[in-house]
C-alpha cells in the first residue's frame, strides 16, 4: 500500500481549493495521506467521503485524520468494495472525486465519477504513469492496460478538459465541462 507522494498530495490540495470543494469522494483511503491533502484544500465545512475495502487501513486513516487535527464530522469513512459503495452515493452532488484504489477498475471509477460530479467538478486518478509502464508498449499487464484505456477514454471525451500532470507517479486530472 503506497500512499500518494508529496507532489501529488500538493496537487490534490490545490485542486480541492480551486473548486472550493465542499463535498469530495475518495476511492482508496489507504492510511489517510491523500485524504488529509484533500481536506486541507477543501472548505472548512467540507466533508470527505472516503471508501476502502480494507477496514484495517481505514482504522489507520482515522488515526491519521485525528493526528492532523481534522474534526471527525468532516470525514465519512465507508468500508466496502468501491463499485458497491459508489452506486449508493448521490448523483451530481460532489465537487471532486479522487481515485486511487484498484487500477483495473479505473474505467468503472471514471463512469461513476462522471455521475457523481457536479458540472465544473474535477476527477483525478493517481498512478497515471504507473511506474513508467504506460509508455512502454511491451507492458500489457491488466493494470497497465486499464490505465492506458482510461487515459484514452478521458482524452476522447469531449465533455472533459484533461491533463496528465507529471507529479509523482502521474496524476490524471479532468474537469467535467459545465455545458
Ligand atoms: C494506494 S492505496 C491508497 C492510498 C491513499 N489514497 C493515500 O494516498 O494515502 C490503495 C487502497 O485501495 C484499497 N482498495 C483496493 N481495491 C479496492 C476496491 N476494489 N475497493 C475499495 N478499496 C480498494 C486498498 O485497500 C488500499 O488501501
pLDDT tens digits along 12-44: 999 999 999 999 999 999 999 999 999 999 999
pTM over 0.95: yes
Protein residue closest via CA to atom 5 of ligand 1: 30
Percent of the chain, pLDDT > 70? 100
78 Cβ contact list (under 8 Å, min separation 6): 49, 50, 51, 52, 85
Q: Please give the Cα distance from 62 to 135 (Å, whole number).
A: 36
Listing DSSP states for 108-148 in one string gives: HHHHHHHHHEEEEEEEEEE-SSTTTTTT-TT---HHHHHHH
Rounded mean pLDDT, 97-122 = 98
pLDDT of residue 64: 98
pLDDT of residue 135: 95
Ligand 1 centre distance from Cα of residue 73 (Å): 22
Joined grid coordinates for residue 76: 465519512
Pocket of ligand 1 (CB under 6 A): 1-4, 28-34, 51-54, 57, 81-82, 100-102, 105
Do the beta carbons of residue 175 and residue 120 sit within 8 Å?
A: yes
Ligand 1 centre distance from Cα of residue 102 (Å): 7
Protein residue closest via CA to atom 19 of ligand 1: 81
Q: How far apart are the first and last CA of the chain?
A: 38
Q: Is it the case that residue 72 has pLDDT exceeding 90?
A: yes
| Residue written as grid cell 468494495 | 81
For the CA of 9, the closest atom of ligand 1 is 8
Using CA atoms of 19, 30, 150, 166 in order, give the dihedral in degrees to the nearest 10. Answer: 70
Ligand 1 centre distance from Cα of residue 136 (Å): 25
pLDDT of residue 96: 99
Ligand 1 centre distance from Cα of residue 159 (Å): 27
pLDDT band at 179 (very low <50, low <70, confident <90, very high): confident
For the CA of 4, the closest atom of ligand 1 is 8
Protein residue closest via CA to atom 26 of ligand 1: 30
Ligand 1 centre distance from Cα of residue 1 (Å): 7
Q: Please give the Cα distance from 113 to 154 (Å, whole number).
A: 12
**What is the maximal distance between C-alpha atoms in the chain?**
47
pLDDT of residue 1: 83
Amino acid at each position: 500500500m503506497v500512499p500518494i507522494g508529496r507532489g501529488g498530495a500538493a496537487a490534490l490540495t490545490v485542486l480541492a481549493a480551486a473548486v472550493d470543494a465542499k463535498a469530495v469522494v475518495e476511492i482508496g483511503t489507504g492510511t489517510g495521506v491523500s485524504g488529509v491533502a484533500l481536506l486541507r484544500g477543501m472548505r472548512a465545512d467540507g466533508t470527505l467521503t472516503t471508501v476502502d475495502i480494507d477496514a484495517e487501513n481505514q482504522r489507520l486513516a482515522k488515526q491519521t485524520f485525528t493526528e492532523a487535527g481534522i474534526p471527525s464530522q468532516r470525514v465519512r469513512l465507508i468500508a466496502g468494495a468501491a463499485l458497491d459503495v459508489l452506486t449508493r452515493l448521490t448523483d451530481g452532488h460532489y465537487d471532486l472525486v479522487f481515485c486511487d484504489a484498484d487500477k483495473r477498475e479505473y474505467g468503472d471509477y471514471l463512469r461513476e465519477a462522471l455521475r457523481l460530479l457536479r458540472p465544473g467538478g474535477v476527477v483525478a486518478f493517481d498512478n497515471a504513469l504507473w511506474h513508467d509502464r504506460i509508455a512502454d508498449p511491451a507492458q500489457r499487464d491488466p493494470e497497465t492496460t486499464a490505465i492506458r484505456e482510461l487515459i484514452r477514454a478521458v482524452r476522447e471525451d469531449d465533455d472533459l478538459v484533461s491533463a496528465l500532470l507529471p507529479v509523482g507517479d502521474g496524476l490524471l486530472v479532468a474537469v467535467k465541462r459545465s455545458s
